[in-house]
């Protein structure tokens, strides 16, 4: 392949290119894709009373001061999910939006304990999500996999019980993650649960360095053995960590609109994304909880390229390519998608693909 001449791609061409080019989403909580309209529909169907009278007032409540203020509302929202059909509807709705954004691969987080604690069987959750996934693979041509996450505000014993409950579904998941309230819950707390997951041959990832310090990123790498860091934006506070992340090519699944909504950064213009790219880190964009944070992956890309004039065609290519490379898809699939990505950028630069 000819080297892509990024200087030949004008900034005005980027929105269409970012939209059309193949990309992966690696940090998406499927419960965070539950839009208020569907939430109210499911609440009515399941005879559940929400704390807000209508969609408009619920949306108004989406003004968060930090991660915990969001999580309180997010867990309450998930309480409308009761039957497999509910999980399927939520999953299918996300997949349609993902396909419209040019996503070819998505690795979906879900929180088993958020549902089992309410008496919903893990089998029901998985039956619904897998039905949505199968439909999206068939009708939209997406490549999808599931990553259950342990809730870090709960104990390690509960994480181990959850892992045990997941064992019958081993072939339906590709990895495990760690999410929920970060501060006060260092990764080390889950060292045995992650060792057990690795022993099952599962991929392992963890949220770290979103609100928590750079030390939590080190701990996720060293104590849990994670392959990717979810968020990780606070790595910049530790130059040794930045050097390590660069040398080891550890992916950081960065979520800019989430970071602004949860007040990690005051505004997108102040987001550290350009610095992370300048440091040569393997970053890509993700939507995290798009129904709550004001946009899906396409919107994250659009708003970042609008707000950050330092980003151009080369950075756009890097972000998309990193997303595909950092995925847990097969090498053959990654190769196919990267060839398509290259063809998109070569065409935009007016170069031939051959
Ligand atoms: N951004 C986030 N951080 C931690 N836990 C989460 N669960 C859902 N979204 C999350
Ligand atoms: Zn997240």
pLDDT at 1: 66
pLDDT at 354: 62
Give distance in angstroms: CA of 335 to centre of ligand 1: 30
Residue 288 assigned to a binding site: yes
pLDDT at 353: 72
Within the chain, residue ranges assigned H as helices are 14-20, 36-45, 55-60, 67-77, 84-100, 112-116, 122-140, 156-166, 191-199, 214-222, 239-248, 256-261, 273-278, 290-293, 297-307, 313-325, 331-348
pLDDT at 311: 98
pLDDT tens, position by position, 79-111: 999 999 999 999 999 999 999 999 999 999 999
Give distance in angstroms: CA of 118 to centre of ligand 2: 21
pLDDT at 352: 79
pLDDT at 30: 99
Per-residue confidence in pLDDT tens, the chain, 354 aa: 679 999 999 999 999 999 999 999 999 999 999 999 999 999 999 999 999 999 999 999 999 999 999 999 999 999 999 999 999 999 999 999 999 999 999 999 999 999 999 999 999 999 999 999 999 999 999 999 999 999 999 999 999 999 999 999 999 999 999 999 999 999 999 999 999 999 999 999 999 999 999 999 999 999 999 999 999 999 999 999 999 999 999 999 999 999 999 999 999 999 999 999 999 999 999 999 999 999 999 999 999 999 999 999 999 999 999 999 999 999 999 999 999 999 999 999 999 776
Could you tell me the pTM of the whole model? 0.98
Please report the ipTM that was assigned to this predicted complex: 0.97
Catalytic annotation on 227?
no
pLDDT tens, position by position, 298-309: 999 999 999 999
258 Cβ below 6 A of ligand 1: yes
Under 8 Å between Cβ of 108 and 145: yes
288 burial via Cβ count (<10 Å: 0-12, 13-18, 19+) = buried
pLDDT at 2: 75
Nearest partner of 270 among 252, 256, 281, judged by Cα: 256
271 Cβ below 6 A of ligand 1: no
300 Cβ below 6 A of ligand 1: no
Of ligand 1's listed atoms, the one at least distance from the Cα of 74 is 8
User: For the chain, what are the domain ranges?
Assistant: 12-348
Sign of CA dihedral 131, 132, 134, 139: positive
29 Cβ below 6 A of ligand 1: yes
Catalytic residue among 107, 210, 211, 270: 210
Q: Which fold has domain 12-348?
A: TIM Barrel (3.20.20)
Dihedrals phi, psi of 228, to nearest 5 degrees: -140, 155
CA distances from 34 to 48, 86, 344 (A): 15, 10, 32
Residue 207 assigned to a binding site: yes
Dihedrals phi, psi of 174, to nearest 5 degrees: -110, -15
Give distance in angstroms: CA of 180 to centre of ligand 1: 5
């Amino acid at each position: 392949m000819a080297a892509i001449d990024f200087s030949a791609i004008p900034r005005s061409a980027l929105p269409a290119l970012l939209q059309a080019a193949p990309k992966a989403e690696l940090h998406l909580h499927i419960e965070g894709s539950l839009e208020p309209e569907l939430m109210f529909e499911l609440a009515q169907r399941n005879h559940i009373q929400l704390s807000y009278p209508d969609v408009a007032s619920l949306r108004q409540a989406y003004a968060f001061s930090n991660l915990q203020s969001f999580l309180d509302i997010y867990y309450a929202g998930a309480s409308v999910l009761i039957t497999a059909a509910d999980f399927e509807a939520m999953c299918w709705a996300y997949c349609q939006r993902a396909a419209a954004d040019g996503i070819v691969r998505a690795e979906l987080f879900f929180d088993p304990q958020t549902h089992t604690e309410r008496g919903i069987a893990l089998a029901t959750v998985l039956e619904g999500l897998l039905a949505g996934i199968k439909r999206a693979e068939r009708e939209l041509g997406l490549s999808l996999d599931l990553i259950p996450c342990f809730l870090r505000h709960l104990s390690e014993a509960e994480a181990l019980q959850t892992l045990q409950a997941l064992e019958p579904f081993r072939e339906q998941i590709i990895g495990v993650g760690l999410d929920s309230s970060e501060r006060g819950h260092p990764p080390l707390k889950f060292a045995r649960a992650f060792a057990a997951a690795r022993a099952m041959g599962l991929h392992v990832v963890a949220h770290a360095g979103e609100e928590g310090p750079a030390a939590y990123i080190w701990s996720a790498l060293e104590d849990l053995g994670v392959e990717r860091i979810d968020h990780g934006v606070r790595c910049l506070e530790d130059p040794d960590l930045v050097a390590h992340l660069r040398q080891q090519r550890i992916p950081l699944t960065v979520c800019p609109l989430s970071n602004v909504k949860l007040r990690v950064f005051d505004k997108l213009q102040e987001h550290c994304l350009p610095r992370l790219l300048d440091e040569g880190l393997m970053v890509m964009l993700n939507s995290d909880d798009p129904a709550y944070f004001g946009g899906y992956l396409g919107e994250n890309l659009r708003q970042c390229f609008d707000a950050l004039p330092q980003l151009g065609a080369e950075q756009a290519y890097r972000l998309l390519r990193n997303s595909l490379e950092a995925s847990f898809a097969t090498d053959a699939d990654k190769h196919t998608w990267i060839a398509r990505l290259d063809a998109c950028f070569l065409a935009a630069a007016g170069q031939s693909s051959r």
